[in-house]
Each structure stands twice: as C-alpha cells, then as structure tokens.
Chain A
Amino acid sequence: MTRRSGPATRPTVAPFAFAALVTALLAMPAAAETVTVITSFPKELTAAYKKAFEAKYPNDKLEILNKNTAAGIAFVREQPAGSRPEIFWASAPDAFEVLASSKLLQKTDAQNPAVPAKIGNYPINDPEGFYLGQALAGYGIMWNTRYLAANKLPEPKEWADLANPVYHGHVAISSPSRSGTTHLTVETILQGEGWPKGWGQLLAIAGNCAVITERSFGVPDGVASGQFGVGLVIDFFGLAAKNSGLPVEFIYPSVTSIVPANIALVAGSKAPEAGKRFIQYTLSDEGQALLLDKQISRLPVLPATYAKAPAGYPNPYSGKIQAKVNFDSNLSESRYYVVVALFDQLVTFRHKELVAATKAIQDAQKRLGARTSRELDEARRLAFAPPVDEKQAADPALLAAFRADKKDADASKRRAQVEEEWASKAKANYAKATELANAVK
C-alpha cells in the first residue's frame, strides 16, 4: 500500500521501539508511487517482475501480496474505495468475472496492440475490456519418471489413457470447484468429447485416481515428490518442475485448450496511473520475456517473444500444441455452477465409492478377458454415466437455482435438494455397479 507502508507502521522486532516509530513518522519522506499487486502467482514470478519493473521505473515501488484467489477476491471486496490495491493478477477467468460484476475492476487502454485478439477460439482480452490476458496456459499431463519406471507403467499420451486399468490408483487430479484451471480442463473434455462421453471419461479417470486434491497445486506437488505417478496439471507447473531438475515429464494431449491468465486494474485504487504503467510493462517486450525464465516457464501472449525462447519451448501460436477444442466460453460460464457441483457430488465427496466401483469393474473385465457381459455393461453405465443429461444440465430452472442470490433461502433449499438427489443417486449407483461387477464370473 502506498503511504501506509512507509517506515512509520512497519513493525520492529523490539516492542519498545515506539519512540523510534514516532520519529520515523515525523521524518517520513515524500512517498513514491506504490503499486500493490494481489496475485496468486508464485514468488519466483512476482520477484522477477518486481526487480525488473523497479529497475525500469525507479520512482515506482511494487508491493506484492500473494493470496489464493478466493482470499484475494475477499480482500479486494472488503477494502473501502480509495485504498484498494491497484492490480489483480491471477489465472482463473471466473475470479475476474466476479470482480467485474461487483464493479471492482476499471477498464484500461493498457493493452499491447501486438497481442492477437484470440488464441484458438478464446479471446485473449476480456471483450468488455475489464481484464487483459498476460500469459497463456494450457493443460496437460505430468508424470514422475521414477514412479512410472518403478511401477512399470507406460507413458500416457491422451486423457483417455488415464482411464486405462494399468493406471488404477496412480493418478491425481484436483476438483474443479477448487481450481479454476481444473474447471477449464473439465469443460474442455466435456466440450471436446461431448457431455455423456466426456463425463464417462472423467468418471473413469477419477475412478483411477489415488486422491482428488483440494488445491490444484496439490497435483504437481504430489507428482514431483512421487506420491502419485501421473497428474493433470497446468503447463507451467510441469515445465517449471522439470526445469528445476525434478524427475518429471510433461505433455499436452490433443484435446486441450489454451487460455489466458489475466491481469486487471482494480477500481478505486490509490494509484491507478502507476497501476496502468505496471500492466503496460507486463505486456511489453521486456515484461513478456521474463516469462521465459527457467523457473517460471509460462507462455507469453506476445508472439514475438517466442523468438527469444530456448529451443523446444512450446509455442501455442506455431500450431505445435494442437488445441482441437474450440472452447465456447459462454457455454462454460452458463453452466459453471452445475458442472462443478456435479463433479463434487459425483467425484469429490463420493470418491471412495467411485474407486471401489471402478476397481470391481476392472477386475471383472480381467476375469472375462475378451468376453463381454451384459451385467458388466450395466455396471459401467451405472458407474460412469452422469445422472443428468446435457439438456437437463442446461435447464434454465436448474441453472437459476444455482446462480440465484446465495442468500435466497428458497433457491438455497432447491439447490440442496438437487445436490442431495445427485449424491444419493451416485452413491446407490456406485454400490449397485460394484455388486454387479463382483457377480460377473
């Protein structure tokens, strides 16, 4: 924060330093412009920007506040206008939507005209101009090479590979309700494969998972330390871990989407001009080149920057990463709450039962060999089919119950009913599927 972070209010180790405090207060120098940045990005990234930005603009000071996205939103929202931070910088587009709809973002003309309008079908900058894409991120599969070798597992290539019985108990994913980027992957699979097939694939993969992690970072962390073999992660986690010398590999599967991580100017901040300067800097040639650092490993939005990248650096503009899915962000946004609630009720909170059903089905298939069985098909249908079809999921009444003002008691009751229906149906289906599969000879 600007003046407040002057020496006057900085805590000192000795509690007796009150006199020094008052002296410092009186002697406070004319404050430079301070840009406060709320971000969920890791320290090595923010530290690189702080150093470079302050070197270029010696009169500006960059204050980084690292908070997870939810805490970041709450922080911005609870600050009175006039003393809010200048910049909000994070991955999940929904966080920016929440801020924009609460009138907490301010439009800027800080964009770099050299940045293309779209990546694939996805607009890089917010069409309404509230936030700008600052880097690109794609989802992919990361694995621990030692783990795979020790367990004699093949290297996966596609999402669908992870539903293969050999990976049972070796995979990890995060819940889309916990991580905006996981939500994008889930949506990508749903849009790429279609609703019923997509859910079938997701549930089969989830049934192979050792855990559904609470934080999206839990996946790359667990893979890096060898707790799990394979994980669904955002690209820079995989690339940065590999570049730090950990025994991991990362690939983009063919059904993936590339989406921007965003930066925005907060409305009601103390130093909007300096804030704008920082946004411009992050989008400039220099600012974009910082993303190529080994420990950061993010994809720049500026196509020209890739010329400076080391050999083998993925370039989404070159067509090297195929993004087969034309991501429809309106569809994704309209059913956001339904998709995440469905995932939590079917997978996150019923994971134990889902894993048991998956295991029973895989064992039954092993017993059958090449033969087929009607019971087993029925078990598969019970375990891996979503309780609502695409039409039902798009039902305006259902969407309304999930989107309504959270304080509305009737809507909250309706929502609780729907979730309860899904949860009990899922539990019963998993139990029945396990029973059917175990009975197959």
Chain B
Amino acid sequence: MSAALRLTRAAPAGGGGAWLLALPVVTFIVVFLAWPVATVLYTAFADGQGGFTTGHIGAFLSISLMREAFVNSVIVAIGSVALATLIAVPLAYLTARFEFRGAALVQTLGVLPLVMPPFVGAVALQLLFGRNGSINLLLGDAFGIRIPFMEGLNGVMFVEGLHYFPFILLNLVAALGNIDGAMEEAAQNLGSHGFRLFRRVVFPLAAPGFVAGAALVFVKVFDDLGTPLVLNVTNMLAPQAYLRITSVGIEDPIGYVIALVMVVFSIAALALSAQITKGRDYATLTRGGTALRKRPLTGWNAMLAYGWVLLVLALVLSPHLGLLLLSLAKVWSFSVLPDGYTLQHFALVLTDSSRMIGNTLLYCTLAAGIDVVLGTAIAYLLLRTRLPGRQWLDWGASAALAIPGIVLAIGFLRAFRGLELPLIGGALTASWIAIMLAYAVRRLPYAVRSCVAALQQVHVSLEEAAQNLGANRRRTARRVVIPLMMGGILAGFVTSFITAAVELSATILLATTESQAPLSYGIYLYNQSIATRGPAAALGVIAIVIVALGTYLSHLLLEARAGGAKFAVDTE
C-alpha cells in the first residue's frame, strides 16, 4: 500500500528506558500469572513421588475422546470466527465509513452481546431459540417444523459467534477510523467503487484490527467453557478439562495436560496472527478525518444497508430481549411469551444486591486500568524498541487467555497463601484485591491486542518528527504516541472492563464474603434455584445497562478525542 510513505524504522534499541518500562510488566506477568499457574500446572508433569514424568501426556494422546475433542474445538473456533466476521464486518464498515444515522448507537448496541453473562445468556437464548423456545413454538404452530439452533457443535458456533463478534467489531471500527481518507479518495479517483473498493483498499488497510479481533475470537472460543457447558456439549477440550478437574478431582493430571495443550495452542494461534500482519506496513501518516472519510448512502444502497443492520441487530440483541422479558416475567414456561409481568424482581435485587453493583464498577475499573497501562507499555516495547525477547511479553500476557479461570484462581490461592496485605492487614487471598488482580490478569490480553493494533497504525515518522523538533522520547510518547493510540486504548479498556464485569469462573472461587462479591457472583447465586431465575435476569439486565452506558460514554469520549488527536497531528 504505502510504499511511498514507508520510511526506514529508526527504532531505538532496548536502552535503559526500555528495560525500566519492561520491568513492571515482566513483574506483573510473572507474579500474577506465570507463578500462580505454574503452582497448578506442574501437576501435568508430576509423577506423585516428587519426580518428573511425561507419562500423563502419553495417556492424554492415547484417549480417542481427547483427539476428537481437540478437532471439535478447532472446528467450532473456526466456524465461530466465520460467523462473527459475517456479523461484524458489515456493521463496522457501514457505520464507520458511511454517513450512517445512529452509528454510535449501532456500535454501542453491537458490544452488548459481550456482557451477556453465560448462565443467564444461555437461559435467555434457550427461551427464544431452544427446543421449545418462542421461535420454535411459533414455527411448530405455523409450519410444524423445528430448527435445532441450540444443539450440538452448530449450536455452540451459533452462540459463540453471536457472543464474541464484538471483538472484531470493536477492533475493526477503531482500525477503520484510523485509515487515511486520502487512500479511499485516491482509489475512488482511480475508479474503484463498492465492494472492490472495500476488498482491495479499505479492508487491507484495516487488516490489523480485523486480525486482532479474529484472533481473539478464535482463542476465546477455543478456550471457552461456559457456552459448551450450558449447551451440554462435552466433546470439546475446555469442557473436558473442566469436567476432569472438577469431577475426577483437582489433582487429576489429564485435566492439566488439557489445560497445557490449550495454552500452547492458543499461543500458537496468536503467534500465527502476529505473523500474518508482520512484515507489512499499515501505518498511515495522517489519521482519519479528511473530507471524504464518511461517504453518503443513497437510494437502494441505503435501504439495503439499514435493512441489513437492523436484521443483524435484531439477531444479536435477541438474548437481551429474552433476558428483559424474563426479568419482568411472572411465569414463563412452554409459551411464546410470559404469562404475566411484574417489577418485583427488580425491587428485590435493588434492595438486596445494590452493593454488588458498586463492587463490580470498582473492581472492573481498576482491573481495566491496569490492563491498558500494561497493554500500552507492551505495545510500545514490542513495536518501538529492540528489547531482546520483547515478543515474549506479548505471548506471556496473551497466555492468560488460555488459562481457565478456575486454574488461575487455585493458583492465586496456592501462590499467595498466608500473604498478609500491607497497611490494610488480612490475607491477600481473602480480600477483594485478589479478585481485582485476577480480572486484570484474565483480561490483559484484550487490552494488549487493542493497544498493539492501535500502535501498528501510527506511523513512526510522526515520532521522528517530534524528536527532530526536540522532544525527548518520554515527551514524544506522552504527547504524540499515546494520544494517537487513544482509540485503541479505549477500545481495550472497554473490552477488558465489560468482560471482567461478567467474569465468573475465578470470581466464584475467590469471593470470600458476600459483601465484597461482584455482580457476576450475584447472578450466579440467583441462578441456583428456579424460584430466583427472575431476579437473576433482573441483575443481568442491570449489568447490561451499566456496560452499555460505559461503552456509550467511551464512544463519545473517543469521538471527542479523534478530533483532538487530529488537531494534535496537524499542529505538531
């Protein structure tokens, strides 16, 4: 693309500053990820007498069920990426590159599926798309047919695709916003239109965002436990690991061999995605915002575009509708709609669990804050320095994606056993700080991906210009690099925040008192009995509203920043 713009990258070597920046990052990853996980994963190689063995790996390979589970997991991950792409790409392209009414609304609504807590989401989806959900009851009455949306591997792909497409959407919108409008203009002047313009110019330029999002979806689906479990699909790797660890026992080595396989495979997938975008230059000199950035939609095109977007939104928001209905329902059983409506579930959770809402806001803000600080540092070290082994920082942080929450939580309990907190007193593992740190570790990969993608699109010559004008590296980073990355950083913050808000597997083990438990725990708790399914849904609705507001605010902030950033570029 931009051969003419391509300059030799004058990346500074790993000087003292780089080491100083790397130190806290490495410390965090080692202390809160590598070490705790190692205290658990060593079981995969322990022979019971304190020695080392690879016998468990052999045992794993000899089980045909495990080989089948591995293949199924790969198939589901690929299928989900395909479905997520189908949903996300049109939404992102139409709203980011055209004058699309309600673009902010669409982009906000498009993020909502991520905050569907797995337990509640599945209940809501079952009520709508399940064997006897509203859709199938209607279809059965009208045509006598039933569509198995929610059954088998296809069901997993359906739910995962609906659930995780926002990863692609978020990253792609940020990437599209960063493309220099002049590129599109040039292509249009040369006669490129419509799909060809998209395929040959726009999409390739936004590829880092897409690949970052798609890689996240792949790894996330590959490691996802909640969805297969609620759909009762067990022939996949993550459920097998979970089932073995929780039913055979926490010491079962095969379970940890599976966890190990997932870690290795996930890191390999991420490394592959890095390889795809490596060796190409996506940076453009000016940021988006030139005159032609948003093109108008007219006539049939507009009708088609709005129609498509509405259709997709209706599909992706259906679980939320189901959840809302459930939260207001008196009794909803084997019928298209509930029998009657009431507000008492909301009244109950607001009097009973308002503290949990505050806790979630606090933990997730802190965790996402830690994540974007570390993510920005990692992106900078990775792309702007020649620090030896810098790639390992990225891989190390991303490895968290592949660590099942229960493994990390047990690792925390083991690694920090007996550690007293300074100042406040009390054990670390018994305080909410452990929950917050676990969130930060588990959601770090999202922030890293977003920050790396954002920095990939910032051309290094902007920094060189700043340095030529006398700014030192720190000042350059603060005044030029970070403002230019802000879109990606915010996207990372939002993704980390909202996914942490519905984290359950580590929460359930680390929550030690109800007064410091977050919202997700409350949803789990209420979902433990039939009588409180309504309150659980009400709490889920509240979680979604909080996240939607947060996303919308950050979107407004992003718009404001985009203007500011452009100004900064123009004046520097």
Assuming the contacts A247-B334, A424-B64, asked whether A64 and B514 have C-beta atoms less than 8 A apart, the reply is: yes
Closest Cβ neighbor of B330 among chain A residues: A245
Nearest-Cβ distance from residue B31 to partner chain A, whole angstroms: 18
| Segment at the A interface, from B52-60, B109-117, B484-492 | B52-60
Instruction: Provide the residues of chain B in CB contact with A412, threshold 8 Å.
Output: 55-56, 59, 253-254
**A59 proximal to B (CB < 8 A):** no
Assuming the contacts A11-B432, A237-B530, asked whether A407 and B131 have C-beta atoms less than 8 A apart, the reply is: no
Instruction: Provide the residues of chain A in CB contact with B251, threshold 8 Å.
Output: 405-407
The one of B58, B333, B529 that contacts A247, using a Cβ cutoff of 8 Å: B333
Chain A interface size, as a band, is 35 or more
Assuming the contacts A71-B508, A226-B335, asked whether A4 and B431 have C-beta atoms less than 8 A apart, the reply is: yes
Cβ contacts B162-178/A at 8 Å (1 or 0 each): 00000000000000000
Contact B424–A79 (Cβ < 8 Å): no
Contact A42–B529 (Cβ < 8 Å): yes
Nearest-Cβ distance from residue B323 to partner chain A, whole angstroms: 13
Instruction: Provide the residues of chain B in CB contact with A146, threshold 8 Å.
Output: 333-335
**B381 proximal to A (CB < 8 A):** no
Instruction: Provide the residues of chain A in CB contact with B515, threshold 8 Å.
Output: 5, 10
**B413 proximal to A (CB < 8 A):** yes
Contact A227–B131 (Cβ < 8 Å): yes
Assuming the contacts A5-B515, A10-B516, asked whether A78 and B130 have C-beta atoms less than 8 A apart, the reply is: no
Kindly state the separation between the CA atoms of A9 and B123 in the bound complex, as whole angstroms.
35
| Segment at the A interface, from B232-240, B437-445, B563-571 | B232-240
Instruction: Provide the residues of chain B in CB contact with A424, threshold 8 Å.
Output: 64
Instruction: Provide the residues of chain A in CB contact with B472, threshold 8 Å.
Output: none
**A147 proximal to B (CB < 8 A):** yes
Contact B424–A419 (Cβ < 8 Å): no
Closest Cβ neighbor of A43 among chain B residues: B525
Closest Cβ neighbor of A243 among chain B residues: B531
Contact B508–A226 (Cβ < 8 Å): no
| Segment at the B interface, from A158-166, A206-214, A282-290 | A206-214
Kindly state the separation between the CA atoms of A11 and B43 in the bound complex, as whole angstroms.
35
**A420 proximal to B (CB < 8 A):** yes
Instruction: Provide the residues of chain A in CB contact with B248, threshold 8 Å.
Output: 177, 337, 406
Main SS of chain B's interface residues? helix
**B2 proximal to A (CB < 8 A):** no
Instruction: Provide the residues of chain B in CB contact with A313, threshold 8 Å.
Output: none
Kindly state the separation between the CA atoms of A67 and B506 in the bound complex, as whole angstroms.
11
Kindly state the separation between the CA atoms of A25 and B429 in the bound complex, as whole angstroms.
19
Instruction: Provide the residues of chain A in CB contact with B514, threshold 8 Å.
Output: 63-65
| Segment at the A interface, from B354-362, B396-404, B459-467 | B354-362
Contact A42–B362 (Cβ < 8 Å): no
The one of A22, A77, A352, A408 that contacts B48, using a Cβ cutoff of 8 Å: A408
Instruction: Provide the residues of chain A in CB contact with B132, threshold 8 Å.
Output: 147, 226-227
Assuming the contacts A9-B431, A43-B532, A70-B246, asked whether A419 and B152 have C-beta atoms less than 8 A apart, the reply is: no
In the complex, which residues 319-378 of chain B have their Cβ closer than 8 Å to any Cβ of chain A? 330-335, 358-359, 361-363, 365-366
Contact A21–B234 (Cβ < 8 Å): no
**B250 proximal to A (CB < 8 A):** yes
A–B Cβ pairs within 8 angstroms, 26 of them = A3-B426, A4-B427, A4-B431, A5-B516, A8-B424, A13-B361, A13-B362, A15-B362, A42-B529, A44-B529, A44-B532, A66-B528, A70-B245, A74-B413, A78-B417, A177-B248, A210-B131, A217-B529, A218-B232, A222-B126, A228-B131, A295-B531, A340-B247, A406-B249, A409-B56, A409-B59
Excluding A25-B425, A221-B530, 12 further A-B contacts by CB distance (< 8 Å) are A4-B513, A12-B362, A15-B365, A43-B525, A43-B526, A71-B508, A83-B430, A144-B333, A217-B528, A352-B152, A409-B253, A419-B65
- Chain B residues in contact with chain A, CB under 8 A? 43, 46-48, 53, 55-56, 58-60, 62-65, 123, 126-127, 130-133, 152, 229-230, 232, 234-235, 239, 243, 245-254, 330-335, 358-359, 361-363, 365-366, 406, 410, 413-414, 417-418, 423-427, 429-432, 508-509, 511-516, 524-526, 528-533
